[in-house]
Structure 1
C-alpha cells in the first residue's frame, strides 16, 4: 500500500502515469535509477537495473533491482 506505483501496466497511458505516481509518492531528490542491461528483440525489450529512493508517507528508504519488460508497437 505504501508503494502504489508498483503494479503491472499495459497501456502507454498507464506507463506514463507511473512516473507521475512515482514523483507523488516518493521524495524526488532522493530518487536514483540505473540501467545495467538493455536487451532488444524486435518489438520486445527488457531493461534491468537498480532503483532507490525514499517513500514520502513513511520516510523509509528503499533500494533493489528491477526488471522492466516492454513491448513497443507502432
Structure 2
C-alpha cells in the first residue's frame, strides 16, 4: 500500500489543514482563512472520492431532506 495515498494519509493531511485553518482563524487573517478553507475542502473531497461518497447527495439528504438540528446540542456549561 502506498502510504501517501491511503485513507489514513488523507485523514492526517486533513487534520494538518484543519490545524492551519485554526491558526488562521485565531490570528483573524482573512486571506489565510480563505486559503486554508480551500485546503480543508479539498481534503474532505479527496476523502469522499477515496470512499466513493457523493458529497452533494449526502449533504442534500442530511441538510435539505432531513433535520440536522435534532442532533445538535449546545455545549454544557
* Bucket of the pairwise TM-score, normalised by the shorter protein: 0.3 to 0.5
Taking structure 2 as the reference length, what is the TM-score of the superposition? 0.31
Quick check: which has more Rg, 1 or 2? 2
Instruction: Provide the TM-score with structure 1 as the length reference.
Output: 0.32
In proportion to residue count, which structure has more strand?
Answer: 1
